Every structure is written in structure tokens, then in C-alpha cells.
Amino acid sequence: MKINFTNKSPKKGAVCVAIFDDNKFSDAANALDSDSGGSIRKALETSRFSGKAGQVIQILAPMGVDADRIIVAGVGKQDNDMALAWESYGAAVIKELLTSGLETITFSVGDLEGIYSARIAFGALLAAYRFDNHRTKLSADKKPSVDFVCIDGSQKKTGEVEFSSLNELAEGVYLARDLVSEPGNIINPESFAKCIQGLSDTGLEIEVLDEKDMRKLGMDSLLSVGAGSNYGSKLAIMKWMGGKAGDAPVVLVGKGVTFDSGGISLKPGNGMWDMKGDMGGAAAVTGAMRAIAGRKAKANVIGIVGLVENMPDAAATRPGDIIKSADGQTIEVQNTDAEGRLVLVDAIWYGITSFKPCRIIDLATLTGAILVALGQENAGLFSNDDRLASDLTVAGKISGEEVWRLPLGSGYDKLIDTPNADMKNIGGPFAGSITAAQFLKRFVGDVPWAHIDIAGTAWKDKRADPRESVWATGFGVRLLDRFIAESHES
Ligand code: BES
Ligand code: ZN
Ligand code: ZN
């Protein structure tokens, strides 16, 4: 879908105008209403449209209007910061019309500020995402028709400038959604690493460690997870040093289990297919690094993803096995399905020892328990640093990818003690997301650290928001990009 900022409205397709809550007309809506002989007000008289966010109605354009259709869409309440409202507005319109047969949609925005018209375009892009890669029999009427979106307004220049960064962000979100959506026979540790290598075009410096490299470094915790797989485990490192030379970087770590069968502690068959998305943390980190490099962020950021496949096999790790992590601590693997933490701790160790970060943040589809606690609305946030937790919470609110902090504490920490080793990889029946976070905490020392459990937000069976797609959401890309922009760029 091509996006174009213009101040000369094209004469075909649909023209879309915004109305706020309680049918408060935007200037563009007023202008189009009078150009069309009052057709918008007339149409509203016989409809339940009230300007609420998400409402969209279509009117056949009367003679004299330079378009085939008029679209009227709600923005909701007028507030101080309207960025997310305009984003949702753009998304709702595209969601409604993507496969309608219309090819061109022009958002008529009048004098709307450039930051907001760019948001409309960004929302439109987010809503236009589809995962049709493997559908060979999709009929013509089910395919997207909209291929051209114009933003028509006086602030064309600032709109274009603002959109250039958001366009990079949308690329990052698309990349993360593609990676999460692709099944385990297509995205495996080796192909994921290759895909990351392809990102060097964006200016990212890429390094990939293979099993031999990791064995030398003693990363047996990560390696134990991939022991039953036919694919070689990888650790991929993406470097973006756009900030001041010598400033300690932020390290982002992602869980990249390209398929989680549970290993010898095999998962039940029903729903196991969803575990192709168990690399959602790695996808978010990769997408965020893509966006950060694409918009040439003035910050030092390093993305590290641990890429493994968790399979049962004669060579697979057994329940009861004791392994040693790269930092020397020993782990009794009581359940091979609690594998994400085993991958993360070695990747975190690598991040801390190699890059001496000012802050380290990991993202992972780590526990089913986070769905019980927070559902699919908020990701779970755990941190040893109040300032970092607050920065991430703020970035969540601004980006629309929200996080909710849960506690850590020594009482929870005791639940992962075992007489057989320094710790075990499962807690017990209670507080499963917290005991998983306590496990990670044992590996971060005094580095300010946050863990974001995205098991509830990385994918959704139903499309809950017009900016999201049907399954993979790309959760974390917008959050991380905003966090870097707000807290680590001057
Ligand atoms: N990948 C799963 C967590 C998960 C569950 C992600 C549902 C997305 C949706 C993780 O590796 C896992 O299996 N965790 C276990 C931990 C348990 C064995 C302590 C879980 O949550 O059941
Ligand atoms: Zn698992
Ligand atoms: Zn998992």
C-alpha cells in the first residue's frame, strides 16, 4: 500500500473526513458537507453514528463531489494528545475498506498538524497488514483492493517528515508479525538468523554465534533447549550505535523459541500449533532494531535474540538433568517446557558481559500464567529498578502497547530453590509468571533490568483492535521503539 501526502486531492476513489464525539464536525468534514450539498448531515440524521472511535459510514458521493464515495469516520473525544486517536481513526477506516473494491482512499484533513496526519497514515498501514503468504486459493474478492492512501491537507511537508520515522516503525511491526506468523517449518533458528543477517542493509551491524561458539562460551543453558532439534541453535546480535560514542548501550534480549513442543515434557496436542509464535520476544526485538536503525535513532541499542527449537528426541534434555549456565550457576531442569528462561539467562549473560549495558530489557512469551493474571490487554512487567519500570510504563501508554507491573520478592525467589542444584527451572503451582521472573533475576546482578512477559499479547485469535492483525500483533516493537525515543534519545 502506497502512502502519499498531498495538498491536491485526487479526483477518484473515496474521500474520508473525521467527526469527533457527539457529532462535532472537523473543518474538513464541514467543508465536504457544504461541497456536497449537506449530504453528510443528511446521512447522519438516519444513522446511529455519533463520532465515536471506530465508527465508519459510507455515503455515495452526490454529483458535484470529486470522488466516488464519501467516508465519515469517528475519532472519539477531543483531548490534549490525539496521536493514538488519529492512529485508530486511520486504522478503522482501512480495516473497513481494505477489501471493499475501492483502490484509492483520500483522508481529507484540512489544517491538521503534521504529527497527527502522519499518525493516520501509520494507523492505515498497521491495519492493512495481512498474512497471505501461503494462501494459494484466495479469491479475488477477498484480496485487498486499497493500494493507494492519500493524506490531503495543508501541512503536507511536516506530515511527510513525521511519517518517515513512522513508516520505518511500521516496517518493524510488519517484520515482527511475519516472523511470528510463519510456521516452524519455515522460521527455524537457522532461517531466523539468516533473516537477521539480511537486516545489515538497514545499517545494523549483525553477528551470529553458532553452537560451537556458544559451547566455547559455556552457554549450556541455552544449548540444552535446542539439544533435541535438527536445527542448529543460534545467538544473533544486532548493533545500532547511533548515540554518543562511549555511552553505555541499552541491551534488548528476545526469547526466540521457533517452535515450543515442550520437549520431553511434551505439551498437549490441542493448540500446540500456536507455539510457532514462541519466538514473539525475538521478533519484537528484531522488529524494534529494524525500526530504530531505519529511523537512524540517536541512541546506542543492541538487540540479542536466542534462537532455538524445543523438541523431544533421544538427544533432548531430560527432566531432572542438571546443566550449567554461562555465568556458572547450575540449574535442575525439572520441566523441559519451562525452556524460555533457560534461553534467556545465557543471552542476558552474553549481553551484560559483552556490552556493559546501562539497562537490559528482555521480552518473552514466557508463561501461560501471565494470561491468567492479565489476559491479553497488558503485558506483564517485572523489574529491579523503579525508574526503568516507570519509563517502560510511560512508553506503553504513549505507544498503545501497555504493560502492567507485577511484584518480585524473596518469598517468591525461595520457590525455585532445589537441594540438587543452585536452582530449578519451575516454581510450583502458584505465581508462575513471578517465579519465572525470579529465575531471570538471579542472572542480572545489579544491572537495571526489566522483563516483559508477552505470552498474552504476542498473538490473539480475534482481531481486538483495528491496528492489530488477525493473529500476530507484533507486540513490543512500538513499545521498545518509543521507550528508546523517550528515554534514551536527546
Ligand atoms: N511458551 C510457553 C508459554 C506460553 C504459553 C506462551 C501460552 C504463549 C501462550 C512456555 O515455554 C511454557 O511452556 N511455559 C510453561 C511453564 C511451566 C512449565 C512452569 C507454562 O506456562 O505452562
Ligand atoms: Zn515451554
Ligand atoms: Zn516457550
Please tell me if the CB atom of residue 428 comes closer than 6 angstroms to any atom of ligand 1.
no
pLDDT by residue (tens digit) across 109-123?
999 999 999 999 999
Q: What is the pLDDT of residue 191?
A: 98
Q: Is 341 a catalytic residue?
A: yes
Please tell me if the CB atom of residue 309 comes closer than 6 angstroms to any atom of ligand 1.
no
Please tell me if the CB atom of residue 278 comes closer than 6 angstroms to any atom of ligand 1.
yes
pLDDT by residue (tens digit) across 255-304?
999 999 999 999 999 999 999 999 999 999 999 999 999 999 999 999 99
Please tell me if the CB atom of residue 344 comes closer than 6 angstroms to any atom of ligand 1.
no
| Residue with CA at minimum distance from ligand 1 atom 5 | 368
Q: How remote is the CA of residue 51 from the centroid of ligand 1, in Å?
A: 41
> Residues of 93-118 as b/e, b for ≥16 C-beta within 10 angstroms?
bbbbbbebebebbbbbbbebbbbbbb
Q: Who surrounds ion ligand 2 at CB < 5 A?
A: 260, 337, 339
Q: How remote is the CA of residue 365 from the centroid of ligand 3, in Å?
A: 6
Measured at the CA of 180, the angle between CA 175 and CA 182, to 5 degrees, comes to 95
pLDDT at residue 368 above 80? yes
Q: Where are the beta strands (DSSP E) in 102-165?
A: 104-110, 148-153
The set of long-range contacts for 418-424, using a CB threshold of 8 Å and a minimum separation of 24, is 418/332, 418/334, 420/322, 420/332, 421/322, 421/330, 421/331, 421/332, 422/329, 422/330, 422/331, 423/329, 423/330, 423/331, 423/332, 424/331, 424/332, 424/333, 424/334
pLDDT tier at 64, thresholds 50, 70, 90 = confident
Candidates 267, 324, 405, 442; catalytic one: 267
Cell of 19: 467527526
Torsion angle, CA of 327/331/336/339, rounded to 10 degrees? -30
pLDDT by residue (tens digit) across 423-469?
999 999 999 999 999 999 999 999 999 999 999 999 999 988 999 98
Query: Percentage helix, strand, coil, to 5, in the chain?
Result: 40, 20, 40
Q: Is the dihedral of CA 433, 434, 438, 440 positive or negative?
A: positive
Q: What is the pLDDT of residue 11?
A: 72
Q: How remote is the CA of residue 237 from the centroid of ligand 2, in Å?
A: 23
Q: Is 156 a catalytic residue?
A: no
pLDDT at residue 9 above 80? no
Q: In percent, how much of the chain has pLDDT > 70? A: 100
Please tell me if the CB atom of residue 37 comes closer than 6 angstroms to any atom of ligand 1.
no
Q: What is the pLDDT of residue 12?
A: 82
What whole-number distance in Å separates Cα of residue 312 and Cα of residue 324?
20
52: exposed, middle or buried (Cβ count in 10 Å: 0-12, 13-18, 19+): middle
Q: Which atom of ligand 1 is nearest to the CA of 262?
A: 13
pLDDT by residue (tens digit) across 151-201?
999 999 999 999 999 999 999 999 999 999 999 999 999 999 999 999 999
301, 484 Cβ separation under 8 angstroms: yes
Q: How many CB atoms lie within 10 A of CB 131?
A: 16
**61-65, 148-152, 195-199, 363-367: segment of lowest average pLDDT:** 61-65
Q: How remote is the CA of residue 434 from the centroid of ligand 3, in Å?
A: 15
What is the average pLDDT across 406-421?
98
Cell of 174: 510488519
User: Which of 6-15, 62-71, 307-316, 459-468 shows the highest mean pLDDT?
Assistant: 307-316
What is the average pLDDT across 348-355?
99
pLDDT at residue 238 above 80? yes
Q: What is the pLDDT of residue 197?
A: 98
Whether the predicted model's global pTM rises above the 0.75 cut: yes
Please tell me if the CB atom of residue 260 comes closer than 6 angstroms to any atom of ligand 1.
yes
What is the rounded average pLDDT for all residues in the chain? 97
120, 84 Cβ separation under 8 angstroms: no
Q: What is the pLDDT of residue 33?
A: 96
- CA distances 11 to 1, 15, 69, 109, 121, Å, are 18, 9, 11, 16, 19
What is the average pLDDT across 244-265?
98
> Phi and psi at residue 205, in whole multiples of 5°?
-95, 125
pLDDT at residue 10 above 90? no
> Alpha helix (H) ranges present in 310-431?
340-355, 369-374, 386-399, 410-414
Q: What is the pLDDT of residue 138?
A: 95
What whole-number distance in Å separates Cα of residue 37 and Cα of residue 18?
18
pLDDT tier at 63, thresholds 50, 70, 90 = confident
The residue to which cell 551484560 is assigned: 352
Candidates 95, 177, 341, 441; catalytic one: 341
- CA distances 231 to 48, 197, 312, 351, 441, Å, are 56, 17, 13, 23, 29
Q: In percent, how much of the chain has pLDDT > 90? A: 96
The residue to which cell 504476542 is assigned: 458
β-strand 379-383 against 449-453: which pairing, if any?
A: antiparallel
Strand, helix or coil for residue 189? helix
Q: Which atom of ligand 1 is nearest to the CA of 339?
A: 11
Residue whose CB lies within 8 A of the most ligand 1 atoms, among 366, 435, 457, for a mutation test: 366
What whole-number distance in Å separates Cα of residue 376 and Cα of residue 247?
36
What whole-number distance in Å separates Cα of residue 215 and Cα of residue 208?
14
* Domains of the chain and any CATH numbers: 2-154 (3.40.220.10), 169-487 (3.40.630.10)
Residue whose CB lies within 8 A of the most ligand 1 atoms, among 337, 424, 430, 473, for a mutation test: 337
Instruction: Tell me how long the chain is.
Output: 490
Strand, helix or coil for residue 277? helix
459, 471 Cβ separation under 8 angstroms: yes
pLDDT at residue 66 above 90? no
What is the average pLDDT across 327-347?
99
CA 299 to chain centre: 20
Q: How remote is the CA of residue 260 from the centroid of ligand 2, in Å?
A: 6
Please tell me if the CB atom of residue 368 comes closer than 6 angstroms to any atom of ligand 1.
yes
What is the average pLDDT across 344-352?
99
Nearest one of 261, 434, 420, 262 to 335, comparing CA atoms: 262
304, 253 Cβ separation under 8 angstroms: yes
Please tell me if the CB atom of residue 433 comes closer than 6 angstroms to any atom of ligand 1.
no
